[in-house]
Chains A and B, each alone.
Chain A
Amino acid sequence: MKYRYLTPLFLAALPLSGLAQQVIYPIDRATMVEGGKFDFKVEFDQEIQPEQATILINGKDFKQVLNGKVEFIAREDGKPVSALWVRDSHIKHAGDYRVTVSLNGKQDEVTWNIYATPKTRKAHNVILFIGDGLSVAHRTGARILSKGVTEGKANGKLAIDSLPHMGFIGTSSTDSIATDSANTMSAYMTGHKSAVNALGVYASRSENNFNHPKQETLAELLKRRTKMSIGIVSDAEIQDATPAAVVSHTRRRAEKAAITEMLFSVNPDVILGGGSAYFLPQSTLGSKRKDDKNFIDIFRQDGYELVTNATELKSLEMKKNRKLLGLFHTGNMNSVLDRRFLSNEETKKFPDQPDLTDMTKTALDILSKNPEGFFLVVESALIDKAAHSLDWERSMASTIMLDQSVEIAKKFAESHPDTLILVTGDHTHGISIIGTVDDEKAGEDMREKVGVYQYAGWPNYQDNNADGYPDKWDVSKRLAVFFASFPDHYETFRPKLNKQFVPAVKNESNQYVANEEYKTVAGAMQRIGNLPRNTDTGVHAVDDMVIQAQGPGSEQIHGYMENSDLFKVIVNALAVK
């Protein structure tokens, strides 16, 4: 009797019982727009002759359904395994497509859904805001810091607070429940999920980072099928994962020199951010390229106007048909907290960097000149970079900056109501506000000065100049913010005014140990990490991401969505044909 219960277990185990499989890309449950480009790849688990395998799509030979040249590789990367490619392929008509690969009596299959976009275009413009690592606590913190709260009610709302449509986004990868900024933004930009570190490709078996099944990006699709303008704005290096995902195809996001070339080949109309080091030829001091290509010259020769600081950016005369390249730092730009509020050494190298709000405004001014509409991505990148470092003040200041940029977009939408605004992040962090830290509270050490429940009360930040940021960050009664994942570090319970927090440093055993620089900060307390000892900083959370939207097409944002679903929301709103 009891063995009957085991039967389903045996059946379930069969597909995994060591029988090697043929792997098909795009993967099972992929959704693609009609006519959207993709690379088809089948990886066989052995070396075969092409005629040994039968590949059918909805019962027909695959060559009748897929457009493009068939490429058969007998020994992939010199190994005794074969592969078949159809690159730059597409499917003309919407519907469900069942792909079966049969070899030596074994069959593997995947099903794709190809969808058609609506007949009528709802949105003329789309603005996608990404707060890298934006979590719920960032929003709450930004609201408390920026607006204040009295008797339990917020004294004011953030710009993002009144966006009418809201949903939750699942951020998991093809290879893990966890995720990074590469494959998450890639999912938004291509409609396909992928693996950690991958941009615009499925992470296949290939050894070459640039030889993986490509997924067409939204910017490529819009450039190919419409006359819309494209803008990319970020305060990270413009080759960093989020902005890179708009244009790139690489298994490894670290290929920043190649990403610069891909950026050029897609030719976005507005590019604003950091990362000039990858534009400079290796002979120029400060270059991070390993070749002689000068992308500053290449972009200029292609008609781009170059601006390199905030003054130049703000004094641009707005004329028609301009292509703009704004590079404001050799690496990542500096955080708004360092740039605008702390008189420290951080911004000495590049003292005149624009704010994300300035960049958003200029991008909108230029892109809105195109009567065909535009797609603009604006990233507040340093929310994440500071959250990794357990530096919540810098992280939340960058959230306020994101919100003020959204405010500019909302103002733009007042005069351009055919604009879809989407605000989300790419993944979350384990960050939480749990109360306050009060220097005046009785207690022997800083831990006793943490106020929780009714003892938390209200922090005493003030914004007398009404710029939306606290006038002072090291007030006597601060927010108590803690992270869920961390390496060994010293918790100081105070903002790091000189530079971004460096929680841990690597020792000779490849383990990250608490950075002793903070040991002597008054009241600092050592916290033993909860991550593997080879992890340098806090990590991304697997928690859902909140997405909000307003404007035509925003009603598609609701309930639980996969991050890859956002692509469909955008192409549907634009009715890309």
Chain B
Amino acid sequence: MLSDLVGFAQSLPPAARALVIAAVVAVALVVVLPPANTRRAALVTWGAVAIVAMIAIASVPAIDLAILVVLAVAVLQAAAAGRRSFAARLRAPALAVGLLALGVVFARIQGPPILARFAAVALVAGIGAAVGTLPFIHEFDPDERTATSPIPWLAFLGPALVIAVVSRADELVPSAGAAFGAMLIGLGLLNVAWGSVGSWGTENGTAAWHYSFIADWGLALCGFGLAVADGQRAAVLILFGILLNRLPLYLWSRQALREKLLNDRPFNLLAAAMLAGAAPFAGFAARVLLLRGATEVYWPLALVIGLGLLLWLPPSLRLGRSLGLPRGRQALGVGIALALNVAIGVYPQPLLALAGL
């Protein structure tokens, strides 16, 4: 068989398949109802590239191939014309590739047990650097177009890569699984706090959205680190939220942010509630699952996560206001995003079943 010779039998894990479907829906939503002053052709092109990259990262049979795909995607994205220099755009993803590769090499060395812990550290640091969370936040230029900014790493490539690494953690670092999970939780909590406070405190509205992605990622990392079913479910629901809600709302808010149009209408408050993870939105279901998972593992952790969740409200109100007064296609888009989010929040089971959870 050719696939045996080449060592390439493609298969998309259920969680990654579900996220790819969410990415397709998100791109379709934004293409059908494009943000103001945006060309549909560019949205289709960049959206298709992102989805293909997600599929490639998630479907390859070995972690080495996933890292190589990430390297190729990083170079291609950095080579596209943008406001930041080529070196600035390549630096963080290249660091991620280096750390992940070091982690994989350490994991394969038969030696002292501490090497497995080094591997776990490198893998977690590599995940953080690829996604762009603290302490490896990607350099962000608020005026840069989204496709060449760090946002695709937070929304499209990050989820696929994290699932590729976390699903292989047992096989890569079997003796350091607990350390791997604990580091993910620690990194997650740090990003929940930093992302929420940053999103609230930063002067620039676009940067506030960037920080809000990081805060969401903090929760997702906590969920993956818990290593119990509820934690995994919470993490996947949060990634759904990033793709189906936060990303489209970010794109639709950019024109209002440029024109500095803020609004406090009920529509904006509803969007804020969705971003804050209030009931009955999907974020609420994710947070309940996360707290349940944390209680299962170590109840004081649930207390810390619960305190972190309180930080979500002020930045979410700010982000909701930054949508301005959506009209026409954008109002319809925000409405669809809200409806989708409520549907997932009220009945998340079909999506979780699709993700194999």
- Asked if chains A and B come from one complex, the reply is no
- Chain A positions within 8 Å of B, measured between CB atoms, are none
